[in-house]
Amino acid sequence: MVQQKQVLKLYKNLLEKAYKFDNYNFREYAKRRIHDSFKEHKSLTKPEEIAQFYNNGINNLALLTRQSTISQMYTFDKLVVEPLKQHK
Amino acid sequence: MYRSFLRSAALVRPSIKLSQQSIRFYVTQPITKDEVITRAFDALKTVATLQESKISLESSFQKDLGLDSLDTVEALVALEEEFDLEIPDKIADEIKTVGEAVNYIYEEEQKL
Amino acid sequence: MYKSNIIVRNLHRISNNTSIKHNLSRSLATIPSTIPSTNTNSSTSSSTSSSTSTKDKISQKDSTSSGNINVVVPPSGASITLKSATRDASKFGTRPIYLDVQATTPVDPRVLDKMLQFYTGLYGNPHSSTHAYGWETDKEVEIAREYVSKVINADPKEIIFTSGATESNNMIIKGIPRFYKKTKKHIITTQTEHKCVLDSARHMQDEGFEVTYLPVNEEGLINLQDLKNSIRKDTILVSIMAVNNEIGVIQPLKEIGKICRENKVFFHTDAAQAYGKIPIDVNEMNIDALSISSHKIYGPKGLGACYIRRRPRVRLDPIITGGGQERGLRSGTLAAPLIAGFGEAARLMMLESNYDKNYIEKLSNKLKNGLLSIPSTQFNGSKNPNYQYPGCVNISFAYIEGESLLMALKDIALSSGSACTSASLEPSYVLHALGADDALAHSSIRFGIGRFTTEEEVDYVIAAINERVEFLRKMSPLWEMVQEGIDLNSIEWSGH
């Protein structure tokens, strides 16, 4: 049985990884996709459905970890819509 | 931090720039409370559910801003990313209003 | 910087004519690549004219070099930047926004993740049947084949991997007629096809086939009655693209397929821009052959596929022969990493189909509304959403040259048409086929919206285009005349 706390923790971890994409378009997509996916499945009640969604998320977390790391290894100039962060 | 190091190294240019960035904690002025507030508000605005909301220090994430548990997580992650720090779960559970989050961040920034 | 170069160049010229060439090449190296190469010609030719006295030469040089300065400076439009009052450009990045997804799409990180396994561990040749390295990649290739086939409701056995949609189109348009050449001599296609289809068709004309190029209406759609009338007893193939790459119009595939099946003619569709983006069912639509490209669906470049129906069987003469892979239709070792990536991309197109569709539609409508609110603009394509793919927005900005607008839009990666033909400055033949005149065809720009386009980018583009169209029109004498109420058609232009 997957607890609400676990789901929220997964959501947090996924979002944190999404932020790590250096590529603007991939970063924004990942944030948007994660957000919309969790909102879409918010009303799941059957434990097996929740478990499936949760496990899928765990797999995606591993993928995001790998891919956001790669994105940080190959960086390019920021896009014209991206503010350059002075304080970082 | 690591990234900017790589990039300036790739430019084969200024060691000056490099040192400036790597010792920023000692050079820059400690962040002011006002700065924390503006940056926190800006970061919160990037959260989809908060784009249209009126954010103030007193607003409670769940009661006033109408965030659900997912949105609250999102708001906290946005703040963490903006200020490059991690809010431990225990403290995150305690934070109920924007003001409380700002206070925590301000205190953490002073410790640096 | 340019000036100093030129001065140095001139000094050299005066002192020693022979060193000019050497010096020129050196100074040119410092000049940005945007300068037309004709510069070098003009200056060297002027330097070789030795009839004038040295003093005259100097002044002449000065005049040519000042002429040079004018030429050296990039086209006036290129220097325009978004120095708008609304923001400080130095606080933002410099890389342009990518709005050219019809040309190619970025590789989805999920696709790359799949592919990396093949560049690290799974390196076996899928055709090696004697060991586990071969078996494991072969298994993955077949999984990918299944994903690719599912998108169009085909059988995995009907999918042939190729190097891309261009190869698929060549293979089908040349291969099918060649196989049936004893009895059939006629091919039907349209005027707005992709260059590789048109060129293959032209090739078949050289081989003795007759080709009918169907016209399209002002929305880019073919007339079904035209198609019926064009089918002859010796027609072997009808090739009509699903989604047009320049204007995004969707042809009535189901109706075309029905006509073809009734007349026992093979129906091929180039679905490079359509695959995974609009619903396609090869059985319901009676499609006999279909071309697919991987890099248009966030997959790797260098791979495509074609669907070739098995029942009733479509036969063709293969172009590439050899080891007999892919049912003997396309020999050569399969590129397992690319195929796995392509399969993953196809799987994602299915998985994300609704999500992507709604999102792209939302951004597309926003962009269209934002741009069509500019006066004297025109949307190219179909007004009927059933016949228009929303991710492709082609708009004409009257009284402006598309190329100069593109120059003024250095911060947005756009195209005025197909990437394959954009090397030439010819106006788009697709827009011509729609009945647009040269001026309109020249002033059109294609905006491509995809999975990774953000709303923020669309907002930026709307603002930037509004600003710069206004700017360019202020410089346009034609626009001025129109504002004064002069009918441009009434003007008699004097030729030179």
For C44-77, the pLDDT digits (tens) are: 344 434 444 444 444 444 444 444 444 555 555 4
C456 touches chain A (CB under 8 A): yes
Question: How many Å apart are CA C248 and CA C446, to the nearest integer?
Answer: 9
What's the token pair of residue B32? 């002011």
Q: Kindly determine whether residue C109 and residue A28, on different chains, have CB atoms separated by under 8 Å.
A: no
Strand ranges inside C70-178, DSSP E: 97-98, 159-162
Q: What is the DSSP string of C36-53?
A: -THHHHHHHHHHH--SS-
Q: Kindly determine whether residue B7 and residue A75, on different chains, have CB atoms separated by under 8 Å.
A: yes
Q: What is the pTM of this model?
A: 0.81
Q: Are residues B63 and B106 in the same domain?
A: yes
Architecture per CATH, domain C109-351, reads as 3-Layer(aba) Sandwich (3.40)
C199 touches chain A (CB under 8 A): no
Taking only Cα atoms into account, the Rg of chain B, rounded to an integer number of angstroms, comes to: 17
Question: Which residues, in sequence order, are bridge partners of residue C412?
Answer: C97
B16 touches chain A (CB under 8 A): no
pLDDT recorded at residue B19: 47
Residue B11 has pLDDT above 50, yes or no: no
Strand ranges inside C274-357, DSSP E: 289-293, 304-308
Question: Which residues, in sequence order, are bridge partners of residue C395?
Answer: C379, C445
What's the token pair of residue C403? 């190329």
Contact call for residues C314 and C176 (beta carbons, < 8 A)? yes
Nearest C-alpha in C relative to A60: C110
Residue B26 has pLDDT above 60, yes or no: no
pLDDT recorded at residue C42: 40
Min Cα–Cα distance to chain C from A66, Å: 8
Q: Kindly determine whether residue A63 and residue C106, on different chains, have CB atoms separated by under 8 Å.
A: no
B34 touches chain A (CB under 8 A): no
Q: What is the DSSP string of C60-74?
A: HHHHHHHHHHHHHSP
Q: Are residues B49 and B94 in the same domain?
A: yes
CB neighbours of residue C469 within 10 Å: 24
Q: Kindly determine whether residue C451 and residue A84, on different chains, have CB atoms separated by under 8 Å.
A: no
Give me the interface pTM, i.e. the ipTM: 0.94
Q: Are residues B38 and B16 in the same domain?
A: no
User: How confident is the prediction for chain B on average, in pLDDT?
Assistant: 77
Question: How many Å apart are CA A80 and CA C404, to the nearest integer?
Answer: 20
Q: Are residues B22 and B35 in the same domain?
A: no
Min Cα–Cα distance to chain A from B57, Å: 23
Q: Edge-to-edge strand order for the sheet containing C444-448?
A: C377-380, C392-397, C444-448
Q: Are residues B24 and B37 in the same domain?
A: no
Across chain A, which distance is largest between two alpha carbons, in Å? Answer: 47
Do A and B have ≥3 inter-chain CB pairs under 8 A? yes
Which residues of B are less than 8 Å from A19 in CB distance? 77, 81
Mode of pairing for the β-strands spanning C304-308 and C377-380: unpaired
pLDDT recorded at residue C415: 84
Q: Mark out the alpha helices in B1-112 (DSSP H runs).
A: 2-10, 15-22, 24-27, 33-45, 69-83, 89-94, 98-111
Q: Looking at chain C, which subunits does it touch, using at least 3 CB pairs closer than 8 Å as the criterion?
A: A
Torsion sign over Cα C106, C109, C110, C111: positive
Question: How many Å apart are CA C291 and CA C310, to the nearest integer?
Answer: 15
Q: Mark out the alpha helices in C151-194 (DSSP H runs).
A: 165-179
Between helix A4-19 and helix B69-83 the angle, nearest 10°, is 30
- Cα angle C397, C403, C409; round to 5: 80
Q: Are residues B77 and B104 in the same domain?
A: yes
Closest CB to A26: pick one of C95, C452, C456: C452
Closest CB to A78: pick one of C95, C98, C453: C95
Question: Which residues, in sequence order, are bridge partners of residue C392?
Answer: C448
Task: Name the strand (E) or helix (H) holding C10.
Answer: helix C2-15
Closest CB to C91: pick one of A63, A64, A83: A83
Q: Are residues B44 and B90 in the same domain?
A: yes
Q: Which residues contact C414 (CB under 8 A, 6 or more apart)?
A: C99, C100, C406, C445, C446, C447
Question: How many Å apart are CA B89 and CA C56, to the nearest integer?
Answer: 83
Q: Kindly determine whether residue A36 and residue C355, on different chains, have CB atoms separated by under 8 Å.
A: yes
CA distances (Å), origin C99, targets C67, C277, C363, C412, C457:
36, 17, 12, 7, 9
Which residues of C are less than 8 Å from A80 in CB distance? 82, 92-97, 411-412, 460
Q: Say which DSSP state C418 is in.
A: -
Q: Kindly determine whether residue A28 and residue C95, on different chains, have CB atoms separated by under 8 Å.
A: no
Q: Are residues B6 and B42 in the same domain?
A: no
Strand ranges inside A1-88, DSSP E: none
Closest CB to C93: pick one of A30, A64, A80: A80
pLDDT recorded at residue A1: 79
Of C73, C4, C149, the closest CA to residue C407 belongs to: C73
Which residue type sits at B88? P
Q: Are residues B9 and B55 in the same domain?
A: no
Q: Which residues contact C156 (CB under 8 A, 6 or more apart)?
A: C142, C145, C146, C148, C149
Structural domain spans, chain A? 4-73
Distance of CA C162 to the CA centre of its chain: 19
pLDDT recorded at residue C66: 44
Closest CB to C451: pick one of A21, A29, A63: A29
Between helix C353-372 and helix C336-351 the angle, nearest 10°, is 70
pLDDT recorded at residue B32: 84
What's the token pair of residue C347? 């799987």
Nearest C-alpha in A relative to C298: A26
CATH superfamily of C78-104+353-490: Aspartate Aminotransferase, domain 1 (3.90.1150.10)
Q: Kindly determine whether residue B69 and residue A4, on different chains, have CB atoms separated by under 8 Å.
A: yes
Which residue has better confidence, B8 or A77?
A: A77
Overall domain count for chain B: 2
Which residues of B are less than 8 Å from A4 in CB distance? 69
Contact call for residues B36 and B109 (beta carbons, < 8 A)? yes
Question: How many Å apart are CA C426 and CA C443, to the nearest integer?
Answer: 12
Contact call for residues C285 and C253 (beta carbons, < 8 A)? yes
Min Cα–Cα distance to chain A from B106, Å: 15
- Identify the CATH number of the domain in which residue B62 sits: 1.10.1200.10
Which residue type sits at A41? H
Min Cα–Cα distance to chain A from B96, Å: 16
pLDDT recorded at residue C60: 43
Which residues of A are less than 8 Å from C82 in CB distance? 80
Q: What is the DSSP string of C246-289?
A: TT-BBP-HHHHHHHHHHTT-EEEEE-TTTTTTS---TTTTT-SE
Min Cα–Cα distance to chain A from C460, Å: 7
What's the token pair of residue C44? 């060297």
Q: How far apart are the first and last CA of chain C?
A: 36
Using DSSP, state whether C305 is helix, strand or coil.
strand
pLDDT in tens, chain C (496 residues): 444 444 444 444 444 444 333 443 333 333 343 334 333 344 434 443 444 444 444 444 444 444 444 455 555 544 445 455 467 778 888 899 999 999 999 999 999 999 999 999 999 999 999 999 999 999 999 999 999 999 999 999 999 999 999 999 999 999 999 999 999 999 999 999 999 999 999 999 999 999 999 999 999 999 999 999 999 999 999 999 999 999 999 999 999 999 999 999 999 999 999 999 999 999 999 999 999 999 999 999 999 999 999 999 999 999 999 988 999 999 999 999 999 999 999 999 999 999 999 999 999 999 999 999 999 899 999 999 999 999 999 999 888 877 778 888 889 998 876 444 444 566 788 888 888 887 788 888 999 999 999 999 999 999 999 998 988 888 888 888 888 888 777 777 666 5
Closest CB to A67: pick one of C91, C109, C454: C109
Domain extent at residue B46: 31-111
Q: Are residues B24 and B46 in the same domain?
A: no
pLDDT recorded at residue B25: 54
What's the token pair of residue A64? 């995001």
Interfacial A residues in 5-34 facing C (CB < 8 Å): 21, 24-26, 28-30, 33
Q: Kindly determine whether residue B77 and residue A16, on different chains, have CB atoms separated by under 8 Å.
A: yes
Which residue has better confidence, C323 or B20?
A: C323
Which residues of C are less than 8 Å from A71 in CB distance? 109
Closest CB to A76: pick one of C95, C451, C453: C95
Q: Kindly determine whether residue C113 and residue A28, on different chains, have CB atoms separated by under 8 Å.
A: no
C437 touches chain A (CB under 8 A): no
Q: Say which DSSP state C266 is in.
A: E
pLDDT recorded at residue B64: 86
Task: Identify the burial level of C383 via C-beta atoms within 10 angstroms of its C-beta, where 0-12 means exposed, 13-18 middle and 19 or more buried.
Answer: exposed
